Structure 1
Amino acid sequence: MADLQNSTGSPEIISPPQGSLIRTINEASERMLADLELSPLSKRTYRHGLKAFLRFLHSSQGHFEEADILAPYPIAALTEDTLAAFSRWLRESYPDPRASSGETGVMSRTARLYLVAAKRLINWLDLHHLLPPGVSFERMVRRIDQGRGQRRQGYQQRKVDPDVIRVLTHYMRQPLPERKGERRLALLRNRALMALLYDTGMRISEALALTREDVLDGRARKIRLKRTKNNRPRTVFLSEETRRLLRDYIRERHDGPFAPLFVSHGRDKGSAITPSHAWLLVKRAAQAEGLYANTSPHSLRHRRAQDLLDEGMPLEWVAALLGHQHPDTTRVIYAWETDEDRLADMIETYGLTPSQAQEQSREKGDEEVNDNH
């Protein structure tokens, strides 16, 4: 489905013919926006939010190409969990850079506005009796609130696929197009981005804030991160392999040193890719490699921390690499798996099995009997 530009300059979702039945999210979005009395700025924000909602709906069905993401999505496919799932996706794709260290699941202002747009659409569908049978706006919003209640109970451990590095393998295995162009640049970018995320343990927001100058076009051995989640600068280090992938990517670009490090090579050419774009790149690779459904850019950070802890790096140094103000944050989020594994090894080494304990008890009993005689 083509993107049009409206008078505000924002992407437009194609309107259905007058008088037709409304069967898709795309059609309902245009009808709702036509009904609402909104300022041009508010309408533009709603359009972007509804486009993000479409991206989420299609990506949750395994569709990652831009043409698929903008295609009509049937209203009949909505469920009670749709808004709650969209809320989780927004928290992951648009985290709040101002959130304090260790705080998880905090939405940025953009994400909150996008969720408002989706809620407004669902409410409009409900008022016009267009939601699927058994689905209501009230129930969908309640599911969001239930999810928030669960998050307040404490950090929810999310298993990270131990083979998440295959996200990088997926792009490394793809043959590089011989002809220079958008497809070749996009593949070089994807390789460099996945390697950087794992190598440095960066958050996706930190990686996407980098410029070519920050990495000295792939020559820098270390990067001083200034735009971090907790506003505490820190230094990360690059392996030669990651530097080489960055150089391979930057060498074929024709922009300046202050350009964003990771840019779009299709729509919005030259602009920094967004967190949701990076999320889709990871999801696409994860699905192709058969990885966990919850795999995201953050999974590479998690895997890096886990690998370093497993190899024996002290907890406080892993915390410094990740930008955690307190090592306890690292322990709660990442070290629990390592601690469990080490505890299991200790039990294997030092513990007695029930049968061994019984045998030991019998032997002691026999010794006591012999001593008494």
Structure 2
Amino acid sequence: MALDRAVADYLRHIAIERGLSANTQAAYRRDLEGYLAWLGAHGVVEAPAVTAAHVSEYTASLRTPEGQPVRASSLARVLSSIRGLHRFLLDEQLVEVDVAREVRPPKLPGRLPKAITIDQVRALLETTDGDDLLAVRDKALLELLYATGARVSEAVGLNVDDVIDADIVRLLGKGGKQRIVPLGSFARDAVDRYLVRVRPVFSGLGRSTPALFLGQRGARLSRQSAWLVLQRAAERSGLESHVSPHTLRHSFATHLLQGGADVRVVQELLGHSSVATTQLYTLVTVDNLRDVYTQSHPRARWTAGGAAPQA
């Protein structure tokens, strides 16, 4: 089979059978168009003619192109597209071997999660003080996000019945996994106030729904709306760094570890399947300790002129 036809069939497969998003489909298309162009320039136009050497050579060409080299994250995405194509060709029995099976994407550098300080969280939450209906709802939402470390999708997916015994919330995480997380007194008070004063008003403006957090028209609050709530609060609090709902999740974990919480407990609270993911936050706290030590200890750093500080 001709490669261009094989790629067209594969793109149709990921769109219809796998249901990938339009943006993901567009990324796959761009990646594979570049791959096809390279193969064509090397005289390879039929699917069975592609070898493992071709895949390796193309990968090498992306690592050291003319001009700016491709970033590791971009290279990993391109290889994912190529590996998916060749798996598809083998599954469809269009080739006898998956020539991309042994090609491994580059190891991406670990990115430490970003957290804001406790004082910054406090300033952020204080921007929602007030008796206005939206302010009361926004306070409850932000307090809950920080108190539980919930993902924004988990927070907006909450139903009223998921608030158990006033101080415990049941979150539905990735893969449909449920976990129970304490709510904390500040979040509990904010949620109680919202349930009593605001939710009945908003609920009366729309169709009946079990959702905990509602918009002004009575429908379940969307992730985008929750993101905008946080953005407005961040702007009012004067936070210059980018703040997202995940920032509160990162801050939740970081502040727990700084306070002495065991990493396994934090793992359970966050709903991480692997403790290795949670351990990223321990690196954040170590960096913070190092910074504080360097700034505070009289013999931890040199003066600007290169001389040792006086004891």
- Name the CA distance, whole Å, in 2 between partners of 1:325 and 1:236: 16
Q: Structure 2 residue aligned with 1:170, among 119, 127, 130?
A: 127
Give yes or no for the alignment of 1:341 onto 2:288: yes
Q: Counterpart of 1:156?
A: 111
- The alpha-carbon deviation at position 310 of structure 1 amounts to 0.6
Q: How many equivalent pairs are there? A: 210
Query: Is contact 1:161-1:292 (8 Å) kept?
Result: no
Are 1:228 and 2:185 matched, yes or no?
no
The match for 1:245 is: 190
Shift in Å at residue 167 of structure 1? 2.2
Q: Does 1:264 align with 2:227?
A: no
1:59-107 CA distance string (max 9 Å, x none): xxxxxxxxxxxxxxxxxxxxxxxxxxxxxxxxxxxxxxxxxxxxxxxxx
What is the aligned partner in structure 2 of residue 194 from structure 1?
142
Distance 1:147 1:203, change over 3 A: farther
Please give the secondary structure, in 1, of the residue aligned with 2:127: helix
Q: Equivalences for 1:27-46 in 2 at 5 Å?
A: none
Counterpart Cα distance in 2 of 1:327 and 1:188: 35
Which amino acid in structure 2 is aligned with residue 336 of structure 1?
A: L
C-alpha separation in 1, matches of 2:173 and 2:231:
24
Q: Structure 1 CA distance, aligned partners of 2:75 and 2:254?
A: 25
Change (3 A) 1:115 1:303: same
Distance in 1 between the 2:175 and 2:301 partners? Answer: 47
Question: Deviation of residue 327 (structure 1)?
Answer: 1.8
Would the alpha carbon gap of residues 276 and 156 (structure 1) be closer, same or farther in structure 2, given more than 3 Å must change?
same
1:290 aligned residue: 238
Cα distance in structure 2, aligned partners of 1:312 and 1:324: 19
RMSD: 3.7
Confirm or deny: 8 A CA contact 1:164 1:291 kept in the other structure.
no
Any idea what the Cα deviations from partners look like across 1:227-281, whole Å, max 9, x if unmatched?
212433211001122122112111133349952111111xxx1111111111111
Q: Distance in 2 between matches of 1:295 and 1:262?
A: 21
Question: Is contact 1:222-1:238 (8 Å) kept?
Answer: yes
1:3-22 → structure 2 map (5 Å cutoff): none
Q: What residue ranges of structure 1 are gaps of 5+ in the alignment?
A: 1-108, 118-142, 178-183, 360-373
- Provide Cα deviations, 1:181-222, integer angstroms capped at 9, x if missing partner: xxx2x2211000000000111111111111111115xx5221
Q: Secondary structure at the match of 1:294?
A: coil
Structure 1 residues 286 and 238: alpha-carbon distance in aligned structure 2, compared to 1, 3 A threshold: same
Residue 260 of structure 1 aligns to a residue whose secondary structure is: coil
Shift of the alpha carbon at 1:176?
A: 1.8
How far residue 354 of structure 1 moved from its aligned partner, in angstroms, is: 8.1
Q: Distance in 2 between matches of 1:190 and 1:114?
A: 31
Any idea what SS the aligned residue of 1:339 has?
A: helix
**Structure 2: how far apart are the matches of 1:246 and 1:345?**
35
**2:209, 2:220 within 8 Å by CA — same for their partners in 1?**
no
TM-score for both structures, normalised by structure 2: 0.57
Question: Percent identity, aligned pairs only?
Answer: 29
Aligned counterparts of 1:318 and 1:190: Cα–Cα separation in 2: 25
